[in-house]
Amino acid sequence: MNHEPLLIGIDAGGTSTRAVLADRRGTCLGYGVGGRGNPISAGADRAADGVLDAIEAALAASGASLSSVEVVVAAMAGMRAAGSDAWLKDRLVAKGFTGRLVFESDLLATYFSGAAAPFGYAMVSGTGACVIRVEDGRITGAGDGLGWLLGDRGSGFWIGHAIARAAVQDLDRTGPRTGLTDRVLAHYGLERTTVYEDGRQQELEELVGMLYSHPPIELAGLAPMAFEESDAIALGILAEAGEHLADTLSAVLTGPGPLVVGGSVLARSGPVRDAFIARLGAAADGLQLNPVGDGATGAAVLALRAAGIPPEETIRARLADTVAALR
């Protein structure tokens, strides 16, 4: 039986959790997926369940146990607000874990999923939007990530909010007509009518009621419509999103380096990225954009670093390849 100490990297998100079991050479031995893993958004018990489910699935693939794991690194957002690590540490210990539990930033895991250079940047542009600058493997600058009410400019939520406003203004005749309107109405099961209520079209009243009856963050679900519609309003929303993301990056930009991109908004080619690069101007020439699917590989890189193995591109690439083979 192999008694070599093992490492686990956790990419714990608000929707799902991914666990990577690796050896000290940087080979992924097991990969598992669990439910929501962030205690801030999911609650401590549910988050611990999601993390443990992902870990157990990763261990099952190799036949290893938690007693063989020397370090677990959990990469997630908002860990400072969660306070004590007991919500997860106690559950791990109960399963036989005797090693170290370390928490890291989810954005740092995103960075190391796509780069091992000591200097560079990571930007997430999904439901929310945030950017970090990395120096000597640590976060030395950050921009946005302020949430839907105060920030997340250029994010999926921001785009969805802009789409909803465009549709409402179209129906209210205070804005231009746009093909986005029919898409938004269909999304909420509504249709255009010729019926008026208190001087307004019925579908406008119904749409406004629908929009206010759902949590604001759900507006992010409208974002794909802007990529599907090709009229001037949709293209304008996407271009403005790209400009906002460029401005956020500019706030921490100090020199050339890799830019690891997570989330679907900026990762895809098209109007957002075109506007992003145009807004950056000459500063874009020194950036190497590297889209990644999630922070699972980077979480494993951080676990290796916590065990005393510094990040190197050969190790990161080996982890990325072997994680991909087990997904």
**What's 159's domain CATH number?**
3.30.420.40
Q: Does a structural domain hold residue 109?
A: no
pLDDT at 1 over 70: no
Residues 307 and 234 placed together within one structural domain of the fold: no
Residues 73 and 157 placed together within one structural domain of the fold: no
Residues 152 and 300 placed together within one structural domain of the fold: no
Residues 271 and 130 placed together within one structural domain of the fold: yes
Distance from C-alpha of 50 to C-alpha of 15, rounded to nearest angstrom: 10
pLDDT at 230 over 80: yes
Residues 122 and 256 placed together within one structural domain of the fold: yes
Number of neighbours of residue 172 by Cβ within 10 angstroms: 12
Residues 191 and 215 placed together within one structural domain of the fold: yes
In the predicted model, what is the mean pLDDT of residues 226-251?
Answer: 97
* Structural domains counted in the chain: 2
Residues 138 and 32 placed together within one structural domain of the fold: no
Whole-number pLDDT of residue 79: 64
Residues 199 and 272 placed together within one structural domain of the fold: yes
Residues 183 and 93 placed together within one structural domain of the fold: no
Residues 59 and 167 placed together within one structural domain of the fold: no
Place 2 in a pLDDT band, splitting at 50, 70 and 90.
Answer: low
Q: Return the minimum-mean-pLDDT range out of 187-201, 218-232, 254-268, 294-308.
A: 187-201
pLDDT at 222 over 60: yes
In the predicted model, what is the mean pLDDT of residues 160-189?
Answer: 97
Residues 239 and 318 placed together within one structural domain of the fold: no
Q: Does a structural domain hold residue 47?
A: yes
Q: Does a structural domain hold residue 104?
A: no
Which domain does 242 fall in, by range?
A: 118-292
Comparison of pLDDT for 81 and 295, the residue scoring more:
295
Give yes or no for a contact between 140 and 116, defined as CB atoms under 8 angstroms apart. Answer: no
Angle at 142 between CA 277 and CA 254, to 5 degrees: 55
Q: Does a structural domain hold residue 108?
A: no
Q: Does a structural domain hold residue 1?
A: no
43 Cβ neighbours under 8 A, 6+ residues apart: none
Q: What is the pLDDT of residues 72-120, one digit of tens each?
A: 999 988 766 556 788 899 999 999 999 999 999 999 999 999 999 999 9
pLDDT at 261 over 90: yes
Distance from C-alpha of 282 to C-alpha of 304, rounded to nearest angstrom: 36
Q: Does a structural domain hold residue 158?
A: yes
150 by DSSP, 3-state: which? helix
Q: Does a structural domain hold residue 270?
A: yes
Residues 231 and 178 placed together within one structural domain of the fold: yes
Q: Does a structural domain hold residue 138?
A: yes
289 Cβ neighbours under 8 A, 6+ residues apart: 259, 261, 273
Whole-number pLDDT of residue 186: 96
Mean pLDDT over the full length of the chain = 92
